[in-house]
Structure 1
Amino acid sequence: MSAPNKSYDPVEVEALKPEEIDRARDAALAAIAEAGDLEALREVKAAHAGDRSPLALANREIGALPPQARAEAGKRVGQARGAVGQALRKRQEELEAERDERVLVEEAVDVTLPHDRTPVGARHPLTTLSERIADVFVAMGYEIAEGPEAEAEWFNFDALNIAPDHPARTMQDTFFLQRGEREGKTPEGAGDEPGAVLRTHTSPVQIRSLLERDLPVYVVCPGRVYRTDELDATHTPVFHQVELLAVDEGLTMADLKGTIDHMVRSLFGEGLGTRLRPSYFPFTEPSAEMDMVCFACRGASVGDPDRPCRTCSSEGWIELGGCGMVNPRVLTACGVDPERYSGFAFGFGIERMLMFRHNVEDMRDMVEGDVRFTRPFGMEI
């Protein structure tokens, strides 16, 4: 058996020559520097620092060297492999930092967007305004009264002193569900051979309140009403009213005027005056139209062509609706002694108030069900 070759020179091993080790090291460092992403760096690592890389193969040759030559060769290969490992770690940190910055930009989440893409609904402004108006009177001690929308003719017409030949009782104004065989019925007669209509106003609720409640009566009656109008920008066959009735001892027109003034201040703000203009309604006597000072121009547009007002058409006043003292015939029809009790009533359309409060120009927008109309009014309750 031959002895080890103690005179074996490591420079004779090609892979361990200093220039070969330096060349493998420099090639590895260049490849590492050129790696453009982590995937490319992994390929470089396998080629220049893996088990089959030139430096790894050179490291295996060290064991074949004589003992006196192994230390120097091992030191040379170790330094080269250390430089490659350090370069790999540094380049990996750089590429990971670049990747993280790129991900932050490319995969950024806009936290200002709504978290829930389900569209938010809104209450219909007619409902909101109706409840707000009712709240004004509830705070004054009034009660909310309701009644059926399909109403007997007696409640809708006769009890309100609307004569059988009144134009409002023709087919041009009223939706008839069933025509009664005789006019001028009492409440008992209305039950025997009832004529039925879709109520043309909420005044029948006032009649029912007088018949069902003990005096004094203070009620506000919001609700849906029906008339045979064509649907256009200012008319609709189905609309909403709010009516008020107060019956007590000693009520006068002064109480009516004070109630209207309080309502206007509560809904539109302080400093807006009101006025009553003589008019005629079968169920009130005396009767009046109630107006309020335009809340937009406060009357300043009257006679000033340089300051026109769309809200009041430069007239300075806005018509709210009708009012008056309850006709004694209405009180008598409901079993109330007109010698002892008096009352006042007024009413107005909610659609009309919504139009000039919020500059709504077309009434059809209120009934078409488009959420783009209702959403700006929000979910106020």
Structure 2
Amino acid sequence: MKELLEKLESGALSAIDGAKTMDDLEKIRLQYLGKKGELTQILKGLGKLSKEERPVVGSFANEVREKVQGKLEEKIVNLKESVYEAQMEDEYLDVTLDAGKLRVGHRHPLLKTKEELEDLFVEMGFTVVDGPEIESVANNFDALNSPKNHPSRDKSDTFYIDDKTLLRTHTSPMQIRAMKEYGAPLRIVSSGRVFRFDDVDDTHSPMFHQFEGLVVDKGVSLANLIDTLNVFVKEMFGDDMQIRYRPHNFPFTEPSTEVDVTCLVCHGEGCPACNHTGWSMELLGAGVVHPNVLRNCGIDPDVYSGFAFGMGIDRIAMVKYGITDIRLMFENDDRFLSQF
């Protein structure tokens, strides 16, 4: 039996020396030292030895086990070091090399404007809500008192997914969702991307960003709307900005108005940037919430009233930063973004 153990030791040590990978070592360990390995099989024969031979052979078997186990551990350490050295050589990185001048990015004017709007209205007591870009026709048009023959409902103006679903044309469906979920009183703003077949000039885009607000409570009037918008314009653009309200028509508000502000370049004196009118482009639309809209959302218009307003974030950014072409904000041109 001692000869068998010596033969096992010699074979195991030789195999370990020739191992190239960790998998090879694991196979060797199982072959010689595993529960069903060669050493275990040899030791099963100890019972056939005399009482005098058993401790001698048992002691020798333990020596063989320790030698093989020690050789395995030594080989494992050597292999790990070899793998590490090879990895370091393959993945070598000279940290002393000159990385060159780092370029620092700039915040996009659209994102900056959106956050400024949200912060401003949050300070005025509004809550920011969010909603899906894929909307139902019911929320996007029907609940907002939009008649079946309204031009905006035509397939030439709106991106329909099917007869009941579309890409929202405005963020107003969030007003419907909020009124249905929270009821009245309510004071919210919402923002996000909207989609329309609209690229008639360099101030329009088929995809743009809107920001809308809604207040519903007892005794809310047009005077509250005008005061809110006056505060907004002064805070956003400066105290010297003048505001002009023009009558308009929206199916979801009555009365309705469009809002203009004085030109940021000439401050109302007239210049080429404003076609010598002294006024910038239309800034937003607003009005007193139509009773039908309140009624469609389960709110009694005889008890509650409200006002709503909506504006293009892109247009606000264009006015604020003097951008003349809306497409510049979607082209990711570093020369344009670096200005902000």
TM-score, normalization by structure 1: 0.61
Query: Once the 2 structures are TM-superposed, how far is the Cα of residue 293 of structure 1 from its aligned partner?
Result: 2.7
Which residue in 2 is equivalent to 1:317? 279
Counterpart of 1:203 in structure 2: which amino acid?
Answer: S
Give unpaired runs (5+ residues) of structure 1: 1-113, 180-194, 302-307
Structure-1 separation of matches of 2:328 and 2:335: 10
Question: When the two structures are aligned, how many residues end up with a matched partner?
Answer: 242
Deviations 1:244-283 (A, max 9, x none): 1000110111100000000011011113232321110000
Alpha carbons 2:264, 2:319 under 8 Å: kept = no
Question: What does residue range 150-169 of structure 1 map to in structure 2 within 5 Å?
Answer: 150-169=134-153
Q: Which deviates more, 268-277 or 255-264?
A: 268-277
* Structure 2 residue 109 is matched with structure 1 residue 125: yes
Query: Once the 2 structures are TM-superposed, how far is the Cα of residue 309 of structure 1 from its aligned partner?
Result: 4.3
Deviations 1:265-315 (A, max 9, x none): 1011113232321110000000111122333322222xxxxxx241x2221
Deviations 1:41-67 (A, max 9, x none): xxxxxxxxxxxxxxxxxxxxxxxxxxx
Match of 1:251 among 212, 220, 230: 220
TM-score, normalization by structure 2: 0.68
Deviations 1:350-370 (A, max 9, x none): 112222222212221111122
* Structure 2 residue 196 is matched with structure 1 residue 227: yes
* Structure 2 residue 319 is matched with structure 1 residue 356: yes
Structure-1 separation of matches of 2:194 and 2:100: 38
Query: Once the 2 structures are TM-superposed, how far is the Cα of residue 339 of structure 1 from its aligned partner?
Result: 0.4
Which residue in 2 is equivalent to 1:369? 332
Alpha carbons 2:189, 2:213 under 8 Å: kept = yes
Structure-2 separation of matches of 1:216 and 1:115: 58
Which residue in 1 is equivalent to 2:122? 138
Structure-2 separation of matches of 1:358 and 1:273: 17
Alpha carbons 2:183, 2:299 under 8 Å: kept = no
Alpha carbons 1:218, 1:245 under 8 Å: kept = yes
Question: What does residue range 70-81 of structure 1 map to in structure 2 within 5 Å?
Answer: none
Which residue in 1 is equivalent to 2:49? none
- Matched position secondary structure for 1:118: coil
Which residue in 2 is equivalent to 1:49? none
**What do you get for the CA RMSD once the two structures are aligned?**
1.7
Structure-2 separation of matches of 1:235 and 1:295: 20
- Matched position secondary structure for 2:229: helix
Deviations 1:107-134 (A, max 9, x none): xxxxxxx986232222221011011011
Structure-1 separation of matches of 2:236 and 2:330: 23
* Structure 2 residue 243 is matched with structure 1 residue 274: yes
After the TM superposition, list the runs of 4 or more consecutive aligned residues in structure 1 that deviate by more than 3 angstroms. Answer: none
Which residue in 2 is equivalent to 1:341? 304
- Matched position secondary structure for 2:294: helix
Counterpart of 2:174 in structure 1: which amino acid?
Answer: V
* Structure 2 residue 251 is matched with structure 1 residue 260: no
CA separation of 1:370 and 1:295: change in aligned 2, threshold 3 A? closer
Structure-2 separation of matches of 1:289 and 1:235: 17
Which residue in 2 is equivalent to 1:26? none
Give unpaired runs (5+ residues) of structure 2: 1-97
Which residue in 2 is equivalent to 1:215? 184
Match of 1:199 among 151, 165, 168: 168
Query: Once the 2 structures are TM-superposed, how far is the Cα of residue 372 of structure 1 from its aligned partner?
Result: 2.0
Counterpart of 2:135 in structure 1: which amino acid?
Answer: E
Structure-1 separation of matches of 2:212 and 2:195: 15
Deviations 1:3-37 (A, max 9, x none): xxxxxxxxxxxxxxxxxxxxxxxxxxxxxxxxxxx
When Rg is computed on C-alpha atoms for both structures, the one with the higher figure is 1
Query: Once the 2 structures are TM-superposed, how far is the Cα of residue 178 of structure 1 from its aligned partner?
Result: 1.1
Alpha carbons 2:260, 2:283 under 8 Å: kept = yes
Structure-1 separation of matches of 2:215 and 2:263: 27
- Matched position secondary structure for 1:324: strand
Structure-2 separation of matches of 1:139 and 1:116: 43
Q: Which deviates more, 134-143 or 344-353?
A: 344-353
